Each structure stands twice: as C-alpha cells, then as structure tokens.
Amino acid sequence: MKSGQYRNERDSSGTTPEGAGKSSGDSVFVIQEHDSKKLHWDLRLEMGGVLRSWAVPKEPPTEPGVKRLAIPTTDHSLEYADFEGEIPDGQYGAGTVRIWDRGTFEPVEVDDEKGKIIFRMYGRRLSGVYCLIRTKTRGGKAQWLFFRKKVD
Ligand code: MN
C-alpha cells in the first residue's frame, strides 16, 4: 500500500499529514462564509469556553504574504461552530452562512494585553501557523490583521 506508506513517512517527518483537520490541537476553530449585506468570513476560535470571533472582509489567506483585516465581533457559544444555514430577513446578519473551513488549532502564543494570538491551524483549507495581531483602534473599534506566518 504505497499511499499508506507515504502518509506514514510524512507523519514521522513532522510535516502536516494529509487530511489535516482531524489532527492534533484540541481547540476548535471555524470559518463561516457569511453572505449577508456584505460578504465576509467569520473566523471563530474556541478560547475561554466561547468562540472568540473576528469578521474578515476578504477571503482568508491560505498562503503567507497576504494580510487580511479582521474586525473583532461578538463572542459566540461553542455550539455555533456547527451552524450552517439561513439567517432570516429582519434578523441580525440576515443571509446565508456556510462553513468554509473547520478544524482544530493549538495556541502558540497568546498575549491579550498586546493583542497577539499566534496559533497552529489544522483545517482543510488553512493549515500552518497563523497570526492575529491587533494593529490599531479606529473610531473606538480595534482592528486586527490575520495572516499566515512565513515560516511554520
Ligand atoms: Mn457574520
């Protein structure tokens, strides 16, 4: 079984195995593509018993070199990580929610004072070390950048 052997070799070399998403890391993340008034991606990380959330106006980057704006939004309950479907007209966020990526992550460095969250993602689309960095506050609202680190 060549393909099985190949996978085992990759596992032991410490690189990301194929079919990541079911891998290590015990906290859940989800990215929901939200086709609301304005299309955006909701990045949610399980931290402190809730899903900390950021709205990312452009598609999240799969490769290093692309930085995305990420605007903090309301914490959601952990169950919301499974949500896909329609939010009815008249309700906040009315539109369609699709799970764009989902998996687990391991915190690498979390510094809330500085606004710095570095974590290793094990998703189907996003895998590798990612950073969420608070950059500035505009009109009382914090702005963060979300990007993949150059060296995993
Ligand atoms: Mn949203």
Rounded CA separation 10/18 (Å): 8
Name the token pair of 122: 């094990």
How close is the Cα of 52 to the center of ligand 1, in Å? 13
How close is the Cα of 55 to the center of ligand 1, in Å? 6
**pLDDT value at position 1?**
38
Please, which residues bridge with residue 40 across strands? 34
Ranges under pLDDT 50 in the chain: 1-22
**pLDDT value at position 137?**
78
pTM of the model: 0.82
How close is the Cα of 97 to the center of ligand 1, in Å? 8
Q: E strands within 8-66?
A: 27-35, 39-47, 50-56
Determine the straight-line distance between the first and last CA of the chain, rounded to whole angstroms: 30
**pLDDT value at position 44?**
98
Cβ distance 132 to 54 under 8 Å? yes
How close is the Cα of 93 to the center of ligand 1, in Å? 6
How close is the Cα of 34 to the center of ligand 1, in Å? 5
How close is the Cα of 41 to the center of ligand 1, in Å? 7
